[in-house]
Amino acid sequence: MIARTHRLPVIRQCKLVELSRSTAYYSPGQESEENLAVMKEIDRLYMERPTSGSRTIKSKLQAKGVCIARSRVVRLMRFMGLRAIYPKRRTSSPGEGHKIYPYLLRTLKVTRPGQVYAADITYIPMAKGFLYLAAVIDWHSRKVLAHRLSNTMDAAFCVEAAEEAIVRYGAPEVFNTDQGAQFTSEAFTGALKAHGVRISMDGKGRWLDNAYVERLWRSFKQEEVYRRAYDTVAEARKGIADYLRYFNEERPHQGLDNRTPDDVFYKRKPLPKAA
């Protein structure tokens, strides 16, 4: 889509197709081939049972014939942004000096689309290398409103996803995230404040506070990522976009009375049930 050899500058091409300039320079994150293979297996084991910590992952890897020290598992899980889901002191690590906001959804009744948005990040293994995916969903309908890919765990791609969701669908009353450094950064919280959005963050030991995004990741990994091995960023971008479009438009959800997220978000009347 973006041609670096074109007579138009890259920045102008990105503006014309409404893409971030950083998109043109994406390349998969790099690790040794051995570590990449281990990281892919860690991701699979983690998505099968997200309550697994480094000790459990290490034992499961060893049962599969992978000789690995727990310290290496800890490093790779931290690098991938994975953390065991269970009650503990902190759900993720904010940046030094970053402000932590209270969790606002415990008593809030979410009754309509556009009332609450939520965001999270997940690790995307590729044939060679890896990427990170940030997504913003509508809490009421589960609709994926925007997503961005990056090869680093910085705040910029999270800000871009949040800004796109707000520009396309309007600002929510509340925006919920975990306490990760990307979401507690001034760049991210400042962008939300500029739109008058109230900021909510998962409470200590409350991994269920962002459960809808966690369920999205599980479905996405099992139905899309693990069935493929993306060779290029362009291939990953297309595959991810196609799946998220399917998730929104075609995939029925039991929690939505077997309607799709788009059905609920756009308030379409359900089809009559067969007699």
32 burial (CB, 10 Å; 0-12 / 13-18 / 19+) is exposed
Cα distance between residue 2 and residue 68, in whole Å: 41
**pLDDT, tens digit, 9 for 90 and up, residues 84-98:** 765 443 434 555 556
User: 54 or 7: which carries more pLDDT confidence?
Assistant: 54
Confidence check: pLDDT of 220 > 70: yes
Strand partners, 144: 137
Residue 87 has a pLDDT of 46
Residue 110 has a pLDDT of 92
Q: Does residue 199 belong to any structural domain of this protein?
A: yes
Residue whose pair of structure tokens reads 């390349």 in the numeric block? 27
Listed residue (183, 140, 141, 191) closest to 164, CA to CA: 191
Cα distance between residue 129 and residue 170, in whole Å: 35
Cα distance between residue 153 and residue 181, in whole Å: 9
* Strand (E) or helix (H) holding 37: helix 33-48
Domain that holds residue 202: 116-265
Q: Does residue 78 belong to any structural domain of this protein?
A: no
Kindly indicate the confidence band of residue 66, based on its pLDDT and cuts at 50, 70 and 90.
confident
* Strand (E) or helix (H) holding 200: strand 198-201
Q: Does residue 147 belong to any structural domain of this protein?
A: yes
Strand partners, 135: 120, 147
Average pLDDT, the chain: 83
In this structure, are residues 221 and 43 in contact, taking their beta carbons and an 8 Å threshold? yes
For the stretch 15-20, contacts whose Cβ atoms lie closer than 8 Å and that sit 24 or more positions apart, written own/partner, are 20/148, 20/157, 20/160
φ, ψ dihedrals at 77, nearest 5°? -65, -40
- What lies within 8 Å, CB to CB, of 186 at 6+ separation is 98
Instruction: Quickly list H helices, 49-170.
Output: 54-63, 70-80, 156-169
Residue 48 has a pLDDT of 79
Confidence check: pLDDT of 15 > 70: no
Q: Does residue 70 belong to any structural domain of this protein?
A: no
User: 202 or 205: which carries more pLDDT confidence?
Assistant: 202
Domain containing residue 250: CATH number: 3.30.420.10
Name which of 15-24, 149-158, 162-171, 175-184 the model is least confident about. Answer: 15-24
Report the amino acid identity of residue 243. Y
Q: Does residue 246 belong to any structural domain of this protein?
A: yes
Q: Does residue 253 belong to any structural domain of this protein?
A: yes
Q: Does residue 96 belong to any structural domain of this protein?
A: no
Residue whose pair of structure tokens reads 């962002």 in the numeric block? 210
Listed residue (139, 134, 138) closest to 105, CA to CA: 139
**pLDDT, tens digit, 9 for 90 and up, residues 89-129:** 343 455 555 688 998 988 899 999 999 999 999 989 888 88
User: 52 or 97: which carries more pLDDT confidence?
Assistant: 52
Residue 152 has a pLDDT of 87
The most confident of 14-18, 86-90, 101-105, 261-265, by mean pLDDT: 261-265
Report percent pLDDT > 90 for the chain.
41
In this structure, are residues 186 and 159 in contact, taking their beta carbons and an 8 Å threshold? no
Q: Does residue 5 belong to any structural domain of this protein?
A: no
Number of domains in the chain: 1
User: 14 or 102: which carries more pLDDT confidence?
Assistant: 102
In this structure, are residues 210 and 118 in contact, taking their beta carbons and an 8 Å threshold? yes
Residue 90 has a pLDDT of 40
Q: Percentage helix, strand, coil, to 5, in the chain?
A: 45, 15, 45
Residue whose pair of structure tokens reads 């041609």 in the numeric block? 3
**pLDDT, tens digit, 9 for 90 and up, residues 151-176:** 888 899 999 999 999 999 999 999 99
